[in-house]
Structure 1
Amino acid sequence: MDCCQLLPDSVDMGLILVNGEGRIMLWNRWIEERAGLAASQVTGVTLAEAFGPHVDPRVALVVREALDFGWSARLSHALHPMPLPLYPPGGGRSERMKQSIDVTPVVSEGRYHCLLQVRDVTETVRREALLKQQSRQLRLDLQRLSRAQVELQRSEMRFRELARQAPAGLFEADAQACCTFLNERCEQILGHDLEQVAGTPWINLLPVGEQARVRAIWCLAAESATRFAEEFRYIRPDGESRWMRAEAGPQRDEHGRISGFIGTMLDVTEFHERAIRNEFRANHDGLTSLLNRDRFERHLRAAISGAREVADRLALLFIDLDDFKGINDTHGHHAGDTVLKTIAARVRRVLRSEDMVARYGGDEFAVLLTGTDDSATLEAIIFKIHQAVGLPINLGHCHVRVGCSIGVSVYPDHGSDPLSLLTHADKAMYAAKRARSGHGTTPA
């Protein structure tokens, strides 16, 4: 078996890799068994051609967004229960299996590909439905048996056994958020047992900066008898920072008043960090961690709108490294990457925190400056950039120096829209480069 196919075939999920033209490159055994189509039948065709008219149109949309814009997406089973015509292996084709699909852009050779990770959540959905059904039944039982102490004890035992077996953290709290019950999983998540937190609102366990926000949402839910649902940062007793999501429904007493909430507590740190990483990758250059071109131009467009409202001025700098190609030719692309990362850090360091800097492409950088009302301030910043860029760069086996050419455009003097400012700065940069001709990269 091809080693490149062995790993995809060994995972317990479906993997489909689509290239920039929307054609299937990878189709693992998990998908084969549930789609009834061998990889050899679908390689090189589109998803629509592979699955026919039975695929959910939302799949094609999120794949296109991943290929065109590098956007990630998740087709949750709650909203899109059966996006692909997949069936349980060996179980006939009477009903599609429930699915959850993660759509992730993958960069290869400068182009976006799209990886679809398909998970069978049929059993999860069944268990969730069963748990909801059991919870509803338990609530009815508690109402019916509240008049009899013996029946109340039986209901309590049933509830605690369900809570003990639940994979999520379960909690019960009164209207003031004081916990009256925590299952074992919830105690593990919080790092506290019920005796330690009883009588104190669980919201007091949160960092000070989160308490007011979460308490306001909890009080609103209690006052309006609506569901509480919120994500928040949590510091465990051992100092570890985690992200949690709590969801709870209101409980009523025999008079119909809100007596408290019962709900779940989940550790969503992995999902939260993944979302942050995906957002960072979508908006930043992978080598230098500066803003990428698309994000920079969106900031520029917004900054122009803001400056127009308050009659402010903006300055746009185009920076191009002189004879950067000579570094790649002489020392290799790894050395070129070192130079780009070093220059990016230096430029970022000499600017103010409110200034924006981006890798615009290749060895070009762009800087957006605010509050540069006089030419002396602008010239001082440009001088600092020249000085910082011109310092020696250690490549390990030698040092090199690079210079740079900088073009400037000012809003509103040189244009009132992003295109005109970018064009003027680009032309000014090339004029500066011609003026600096003969100044290149030299070993230090």
Structure 2
Amino acid sequence: MVGHLPALYRDAIGLLRRSSGALGPLFWVNFGFAHRRLFYVGADALDVLRMPEVVMDYTPNLKAIVGRSTAAHDGGLHRHMRSAINLSLSPQSFVKGASAAIASVISARLETWFEQKSIAIHPAMRELSLELIFRVCGVPTADLAAWSRAYRELLLGVYPIPGRLPGLPAYRSHRAREWIDERLRTLLALAREGAGAGGTLVEMLSNARDEEGEPLSDQEIIDNIRAMLLAGHETTASLLAWIVIFLSQAELRNAVYEEHAAAPEAPAPTSFRDTQRFPVSSAIFREVLRMYAPGWFIFRTVTEAITLHGRRIPRGTPLAISPTYLGYDPSLFPDPDRFDLSRWKDRSTSPGHLDLAPFGAGPHFCAGFNIAYIEAVQFQSAFVRALRRAGLVPRLQGPSPKQVYFPLGHPTPSTRLAFHPG
């Protein structure tokens, strides 16, 4: 009944690595409740995401989360929505405008954490990242605690447990989606009437047009904003939590401080190009991403027969790719279990498709890559500088944190960080 689900929850990448070692790069994984997927973990797995014969495929429980968004569709519908979103949001201006909001939110949160003396790392990063994405997107932040609860409930829909009886994951996820959508409809209605705040994501999407001049429907706007807010804070929360865990090491923390202190004219980046001036901070982000990518699987289905690893994969086969697994492939990253910044620090080129595997590939490559990169580098700068000013040293409490893989990858929620004078 539950298949590999318990093993996937505890150690998904370990299960994939053991399976690959025993069976090769093609093997079936049972997600439980009669849901099986053929995983392909070959070194060229990202190429599968670019094949026209392989399309997006969400199970019903996941479709209920992403709805009619770009994440759930291919072909003409995907191009319609993606082009409207891309044309309405200039990456340069949007990211640059977001950077000021990011800096102010991080600064305020750091003061609160220091006053508390200790924090539960992942819950604290979830609250921070939710406020960050709300400020970046222009969504009111008056009721963040309720939004945070709703999104945690929404994510329960990841579990493939059938039935919608009260208390079951699908029931709770559906109820949370209705709560979220009701508030997004209110924001959209205000934008349509011209009564909302100008320049927000909701307002921009309400006026967005695709390449043919067609607008987005209200449901398309709501579904895409819901998905953006979810992806924009849950994934960032996990990455920032692991960054904090590694910055509890004095050597890394000092290296980050020194490189940011050496650039007083621009202590925090406001564009993707700016991040390249901070090789240590960038390397920490990229190495954390390699080892602890939050979205460790991508689902697809085969519409026409293809060949993988010399095997014919028939039409209708449910496929799965694991970007995180690629980060542990020793043929791609030698000694993959070691946290090693030298993999990235000495590189003079921009990240390639393999380096960015956790953000996907092909037409569904994550549009939030630049924001995530800038947030991570800005956060590191603010964190180490604030610690120095306050004369505090961060120390992990409890056992060594481990990655938990559902609903999305994140460090053990009980992992805490204490701030001591030093």
Name the TM tier (shorter chain).
Answer: under 0.3
For normalisation by structure 1, the TM-score amounts to 0.23
For normalisation by structure 2, the TM-score amounts to 0.24
Structure with more helix by fraction:
2
Larger Rg: 1
Structure possessing the higher relative contact order (Cα contacts under 8 Å, 6 or more residues apart):
2
Structure with more strand by fraction:
1
